[in-house]
């Protein structure tokens, strides 16, 4: 299980970082072509829009695995021991249900609906964009099941609040 998580983290982290670097390069080209060359590129806006969608959905799945997703910790901080583990397990199960129903099932409906549409400029199938929903949903389900397995073994992947504050510069 640990090897699966490490491999998934490595691949997903590298993918998100690569996507971010590519989007920065595309954005730089958009600024240069618009203001320096006075000939704006028509494709860069679509690339950026769809790239940000994919990056945010894959990043949400990555955050689920790390336990650093957005949460209200007021109740969790007041609990200890078994009660905290039960709450963490409930949150992981809620992620599984949400990801399965909204992202995978609903996302596949979106993919099917968008299959007959293409983007305005690049003419790519819009189903490729909507595919980010079921892909990230599947990854969230996998990460949530790994988190549940770790909770059963007595380990947690909930982000440490002090470490989060340090990363945020607070």
3-state helix, strand, coil in the chain (%, to 5): 75, 0, 25
Q: What is the pLDDT of residue 40?
A: 84
**Domain membership flag for residue 45:** yes
Nearest to 53 by CA among 103, 4, 93: 103
Residue 92 lies inside a defined structural domain of this protein: yes
Classify residue 123: in a domain, yes or no.
yes
Q: Which domain holds residue 103?
A: 2-159
Classify residue 164: in a domain, yes or no: no
Place of tokens 């945010």: 56
Model confidence at 53, pLDDT cuts 50, 70, 90, reads very high
pLDDT in tens, 30-43: 999 989 988 888 89
Task: Answer whether 152's CB lies under 8 Å from 159's CB.
Answer: no
What is the average pLDDT across 90-101? Answer: 93
DSSP-assigned states of every residue in 132-170: HHHHHHHHHHHHHHHHHHHHHTT---PPPHHHHHHHTT-
Q: How confident is the model at residue 79 (pLDDT cuts 50, 70, 90)?
A: confident
For residue 168, is it within any domain?
no
Let me know if residue 42 belongs to a domain. Answer: yes
Is 104:132 a contact under the CB 8 Å cutoff? no
Asked if residue 170 is part of any domain, the answer here is: no
Q: What is the pLDDT of residue 165?
A: 58
Average pLDDT of every residue of the chain: 88
Residue 65 has pLDDT above 70, yes or no: yes
pLDDT at 168: 54
Instruction: Find all residues with CB under 8 Å of 93, minimum gap 6, and list them.
Output: 144, 148
Question: In this structure, what DSSP letter does residue 110 have?
Answer: H
Look at residue 1 in the predicted model and tell me its pLDDT.
Answer: 76
Other beta carbons within 10 Å of 168: 7
pLDDT band at residue 128 using 50, 70 and 90 as cut-offs: very high
Which whole number is the average pLDDT over 73-82? 79
Residue pair 143/61 in contact (Cβ under 8 Å)? The answer is yes
- Please say if the pLDDT value at position 157 is more than 60: no
What is the C-alpha to C-alpha distance for residues 133 and 149, in angstroms, rounded to an integer?
A: 24
Percentage of the chain surpassing pLDDT 70?
89
DSSP SS3 for 123: coil
Q: Report the domain count for the chain.
A: 1
Q: Is residue 167 part of a domain?
A: no
């Amino acid at each position: 299980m640990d090897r699966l998580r490490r491999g998934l983290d490595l691949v997903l982290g590298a993918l998100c970082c690569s996507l971010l670097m590519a989007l920065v390069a595309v954005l730089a080209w958009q600024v240069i072509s618009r203001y320096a060359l006075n000939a704006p590129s028509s494709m860069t806006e679509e690339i950026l829009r769809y790239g940000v969608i994919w990056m945010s959905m894959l990043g949400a799945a990555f955050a689920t695995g790390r336990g650093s997703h957005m949460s209200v910790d007021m109740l969790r901080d007041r609990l200890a021991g078994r009660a905290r583990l039960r709450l963490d397990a409930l949150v992981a199960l809620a992620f599984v249900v949400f990801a399965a129903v909204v992202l995978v099932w609903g996302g596949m409906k979106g993919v099917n609906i968008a299959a007959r549409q293409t983007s305005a400029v690049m003419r790519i199938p819009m189903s490729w964009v909507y595919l980010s929903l079921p892909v990230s949903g599947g990854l969230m389900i996998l990460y949530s099941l790994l988190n549940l397995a770790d909770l059963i073994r007595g380990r947690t992947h909930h982000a440490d609040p002090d470490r989060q504050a340090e990363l945020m510069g607070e």
